[in-house]
A and B are shown apart, each in its own frame.
Chain A
């Protein structure tokens, strides 16, 4: 067994150590499910390299989402800290074979932001601070483009303007399908179908690529 363990030390090295050593870059390159699981196990153990590797990859989109949803840098900063702490608490439940790390973290971030807005406004549905702005469909030229963002922007190109607007109203605007249906004067079933169709289009566009 010991011999087996020493056969391929590079392959068995946790991804966050490789990243620290510059083998895989700090923020770039796709992660395999096994590597995502390693990162989360490192987080669970409180390994500083693992936390920094996760931060390098995901803090920016988490902070950006918080900024857009909560409306202030202070709130977004608190949200970012809460997301990493919540991820640590839930780390034992993460299963890379069931879903991707990026989705898991962004879902935590979105849920925490919505919870916060619900607490602060005392309503059951969030009143999100946002958004007259649709995420960009294609904009090269960011100084430090993250692979995740590139892939996301490309995936959104699969949507029509109407579909993109619909998803933005729900995801960033916090509008339920029923509220959108009432506002637009169309049947609830139609809104649900369009929402589903739009998400499936994004999903298919994502599937055309490797893991983010």
Chain B
């Protein structure tokens, strides 16, 4: 989206009537555009004025102590929180299960003809989506569809084999995380570890985890949870081998949910 299109929608963002998809698209732009961000903040402040202007209702007895206790309990736990760590453990377990299903084998460059390869890539994409959905179903919380985003990784000309898939959770209420699953990469141990990085439109880079070694099918997985970083806008996913050579690249579509 460009600034003109974004500013056209900022008043509706301020009053909270955009759809989740429209909101995510706008927020991606606001991540890097200081001018639009400033205007969004000012319009949001104006809209919030309405909430403050309501005739105040009396607060229920005991609510203050419940709020204090809620925050106290949350702050007393490690920042990641048991629940979120459990969720991550489930993701990891599911990711390993997925890797063993062998969907990536069809992306391993075995097909010779281009059309065949393209058809198989489509099939792999469909399988990846299904299997990531299974990952989401295993989570011990209901991941909202508009908070989970998928992407595909394609091999670079330097390597011409392998592929992968990416799952991101980008949530205002939970710690964001990324899971990357690869398959069909050269299983030469000297090429490992593989490192995942995430980039946004401003060129900011985040480490997205490491794949220490690959299995016999050239498969493996990386995951990383972000304590204080919002993954909004970090849509470019890169996988490099131990020498720093780019082997896989792809984009996560944060405008739509999984």
Contact string against B for A residues 26-69, beta-carbon threshold 8 Å, 1 for contact and 0 otherwise: 00000000000000000111101001100100011111110110
Q: Which residue of B lies closest to A124 (CB)?
A: B19
List chain A residues, Cβ under 8 A from B96: none
List chain B residues, Cβ under 8 A from A149: 52-53, 56
What is the number of contacts between chain A and chain B, taking CB atoms within 8 Å? 184
Q: Which residue of B lies closest to A212 (CB)?
A: B52
Task: Confirm or deny: A187 has a beta carbon within 8 angstroms of a beta carbon on chain B.
Answer: no
A103 touches B45 (CB 8 A): yes
Known contacts being A55-B67, A92-B228, is A176 close to B72, with CB within 8 Å?
A: no
Task: Confirm or deny: B173 has a beta carbon within 8 angstroms of a beta carbon on chain A.
Answer: yes
B12 touches A176 (CB 8 A): yes
- Docked complex: B143-169 residues within 8 A CB-CB of A: none
Q: How large is the interface on B (under 10, 10 to 19, 20 to 34, 35 or more residues)?
A: 35 or more
- Docked complex: B9-57 residues within 8 A CB-CB of A: 10-12, 14-20, 37, 41-57
List chain A residues, Cβ under 8 A from B101: none
List chain A residues, Cβ under 8 A from B67: 51, 55, 59, 80-81, 84
A55 touches B54 (CB 8 A): no
Task: Confirm or deny: B59 has a beta carbon within 8 angstroms of a beta carbon on chain A.
Answer: yes
The smallest beta-carbon distance between B148 and chain A, in angstroms, is 15
Task: Confirm or deny: A13 has a beta carbon within 8 angstroms of a beta carbon on chain B.
Answer: no
Known contacts being A63-B63, A99-B45, is A85 close to B70, with CB within 8 Å?
A: yes
Q: Which residue of A lies closest to B230 (CB)?
A: A93
B17 touches A152 (CB 8 A): no
Task: Confirm or deny: A6 has a beta carbon within 8 angstroms of a beta carbon on chain B.
Answer: no
Task: Confirm or deny: B8 has a beta carbon within 8 angstroms of a beta carbon on chain A.
Answer: yes
Task: Confirm or deny: A15 has a beta carbon within 8 angstroms of a beta carbon on chain B.
Answer: no
Query: Chain A's interface: helix, strand, loop or mixed, by majority?
Result: helix
> In the bound complex, how far is the Cα of B202 from the Cα of A72, in angstroms?
44
List chain B residues, Cβ under 8 A from A99: 41, 44-45
B72 touches A46 (CB 8 A): yes
Task: Confirm or deny: B75 has a beta carbon within 8 angstroms of a beta carbon on chain A.
Answer: yes
List chain B residues, Cβ under 8 A from A18: none
Task: Confirm or deny: A136 has a beta carbon within 8 angstroms of a beta carbon on chain B.
Answer: yes
Q: Which residue of B lies closest to A100 (CB)?
A: B45
The smallest beta-carbon distance between A192 and chain B, in angstroms, is 6
Task: Confirm or deny: B76 has a beta carbon within 8 angstroms of a beta carbon on chain A.
Answer: yes
A64 touches B56 (CB 8 A): yes
On chain A, the number of residues with a Cβ less than 8 Å from chain B's Cβ atoms is 75
Known contacts being A99-B45, A151-B52, is A59 close to B74, with CB within 8 Å?
A: no
B15 touches A195 (CB 8 A): yes
The smallest beta-carbon distance between B91 and chain A, in angstroms, is 19
B56 touches A60 (CB 8 A): yes
> In the bound complex, how far is the Cα of B53 from the Cα of A153, in angstroms?
5
11 other contacts beyond A125-B19, A171-B51, with CB at 8 A cut-off?
A61-B52, A77-B63, A92-B228, A106-B52, A136-B53, A142-B56, A171-B50, A176-B17, A195-B11, A199-B46, A202-B47
**A residues touching B (Cβ–Cβ < 8 Å)?**
43-46, 48, 51-52, 55, 59-65, 67-68, 73, 76-77, 80-81, 84-86, 88-90, 92-93, 98-100, 102-103, 106-107, 109-111, 114, 124-126, 135-136, 139, 142, 144, 146, 148-149, 151-153, 155-156, 167-168, 170-172, 174-177, 192, 195-196, 199-200, 202-203, 206, 212
Chosen A-B contacts, 24 in total, with CB atoms closer than 8 Å, are A46-B71, A51-B67, A59-B64, A61-B52, A61-B54, A63-B63, A64-B54, A73-B60, A89-B174, A92-B227, A98-B37, A103-B44, A107-B16, A114-B16, A126-B17, A146-B52, A149-B56, A152-B53, A153-B53, A171-B51, A176-B17, A192-B12, A196-B11, A199-B14
